[in-house]
Structure formats: structure tokens, C-alpha cells
Amino acid sequence: MMNRHWITKLCVIVSLQCLCLPGIASADEYEAFTEPYRRIQVSSSEMGVITELKAREGAEVREGQVLAQLDDALLRKTLDVSRAAKDAIGGKTAAEAEVVIREQQVQSYRRLFTQGNATPRELERAENDHRQALARLQSVTEELSVRALEYQRVICQLEQRRILAPSDGVVVALAKEVGEFVSPTDPILLQLVQLDRLKAVFSVPLRRIDSLSEGQSVVVRVGGSRATVFGTLEYISPVATAESGTVRVRVVLPNEKRTIRSGVVCWLDLEASARTNQSKARISDAPVILSPALR
């Protein structure tokens, strides 16, 4: 009896010590790894030789920042030609002057026709000449409009020779160097990752999915120290994996100060998440009691 009593006592002590040890994972935790929120293969829509690389590995860039420049010497000459064609208004000036002359002739023939000094055929011929002059002016105006559009197209082509950052992020790899050719079959210049937010994709059993919802705040333990981070459940897959009976769940972790490294192990603690949400619900449902000074 004494041995059995001591064994029971020892089991209770060991159980309590195990519960108090830090870093022991609970039964309701699911493991994954942190990843960049976005991983972008920055590529060029144009082909050509790289004349300048303005980004290096590890550099932080902002959205719209110039990362690389392709050779644009020929396009700049084409832009000069397009600008000259757009600004050439001699033909339009001549067409406008002809319209004025033809209009004056029509007015003159109408007066003569009223006085009986011009035939209807002469008046009709003058009116036809006036209409043809208006048509030539319209044609010249439309041609100038097309030249202006061609000028804008060359400007757009020049802009596409500059490779811009599609979003804020960090350059982690360069695929090309200055002097290399960018082709349609190999358009990638560098790799950009977004680290101000991280994501982790967990496989959660089907039995726990009904208790989760998108937009919910969850508790994630990160790294060997199991630091607590509050993330947001961004996505729950509508399809379950039949082999494992789990569902993919994506959690977003804030990382503005870069305190969390990408690629470290993390755990989704559903038990702690449920307790946290219950506490928030109790606080939000509590009645608000105003002080006498605010009543």
C-alpha cells in the first residue's frame, strides 16, 4: 500500500512539472514554416540588353522604384522623329487657309447668283470646292491626331524599358547582370519578396475547421523560443485533403519591424486562440459604465 501511494504521488508530481515546463507543445498545435507574404519573379515585357541594374541583393525597394534599365537608344531616336511629326502643322495651316478662301468664294457666288450674275452650276461648283477643302482639313487633323498617338506609344515603349518594382519588398536574388540579354523565353531579372508581412500555411484536421473563420485572430508560436505572435486567419481552403483528413489554413503574421525571420518553424495554437477570442468577446459584451463626470 505504501509503495502504491508513493508511486501515485510521484506520477502527480511529474505530471505537474511537465505542465509547467516552457516550450512544451499542446495537443492542439499544428506545425508549419513562415514564408514571405509575396514572392515575385520580376520580369521584363520587352527584350533587350540590360544597361543598368539599380538593385542589389538584400536591398529594400519601394513600389514603383526603378530596378533595371534596358537599352533604349533606338527608341529615343524614334521618339525624336515622332515628336517632329506630331509638331509639323504646316499641312494643317495650308488646309485651314484653303477652307477660308473656298468659303469666301461661296459667299461671293451666292451674292452674284442673287443678283443674277452667276449660274446655278457655278454656285454648285464653288460649294463643292468648299466641301472638299473641309474634307482635306479634316484629313490633316486626323493625321496629326494619329501622329500624337504614335508619339504617346513610343513614350510607353520607353517606359517599359525601365523595370519597376511591383510592390514594396526585399531583393533576394538577381537572375541577370549588366550586359546580359533579356529574351521572351528568359524574361526574369530578379526575385522580390515581401517581408513586412509573413504567412504560414497549416494543415488543420477537419474536426477543428468548423470552429475557425476567415478574419479571426489566432495565436502562433514562432521559433525555438516559441514567441507568441497574434496573426490573422486569412484563408481556409474549401477543399480537404482526403489522404490526411486536413484542410489548408493560411495565417498572416505582422512583421513591420522584421523581428520574425522567414523560414522558421511555427505552431498554430488553436487552444490559446479560442481562449483569446473568448476573452475579447467577454470584454466587448461587458456593459459600459460611465463615470458621474461623463453622464
Determine which of 198-207, 214-223, 227-236, 269-278 has the lowest per-residue pLDDT on average. 269-278
CB atoms near residue 91 (< 10 Å): 15
What percentage of the chain carries pLDDT values higher than 90? 74
pLDDT of residue 293: 40
Dihedral angle sign, alpha carbons of residues 118, 121, 124, 130: negative
- Spatial neighbors of 131 by CB under 8 A, at least 6 apart, are none
pLDDT surpasses 50 at 227: yes
What percentage of the chain carries pLDDT values higher than 70? 85
- Spatial neighbors of 204 by CB under 8 A, at least 6 apart, are 30, 212, 246, 247, 249, 268, 270
Domain 26-37+196-283: CATH architecture, name and number where available: Beta Barrel (2.40)
Dihedral angle sign, alpha carbons of residues 173, 194, 183, 83: negative
Angle at CA of residue 225, ends 220 and 230, nearest 5°: 20
pLDDT of residue 281: 56
Task: Give domain limits for the chain.
Answer: 26-37+196-283, 41-72+161-190, 74-159
Does 41-72+161-190 carry CATH code 2.40.50.100?
A: yes
Helices marked H in 161-228: 206-209
pLDDT of residue 260: 93
Dihedral angle sign, alpha carbons of residues 212, 217, 218, 222: positive
CB atoms near residue 5 (< 10 Å): 9
The conformation of residue 144, written as its DSSP 8-state character, comes to H
Average pLDDT value for residue range 1-30: 50
Determine which of 14-18, 42-46, 221-225 has the lowest per-residue pLDDT on average. 14-18
The three cell numbers of residue 135 are: 474634307
The conformation of residue 24, written as its DSSP 8-state character, comes to P
Distance (Å, rounded) from C-alpha 239 to C-alpha 144?
57
Helices marked H in the chain: 2-20, 73-87, 90-115, 120-160, 206-209, 270-285
Domains 26-37+196-283 and 41-72+161-190 are alike in CATH topology: no
Going by C-alpha positions, the residue among 206, 264, 203, 204 that lies closest to residue 33 is 264
Residue type, 117: N
pLDDT of residue 28: 77
pLDDT by residue (tens digit) across 119-163?
999 999 999 999 999 999 999 999 999 999 999 999 999 999 999
pLDDT of residue 291: 41
Partners of 173 in beta bridges = 191
pLDDT surpasses 70 at 37: yes
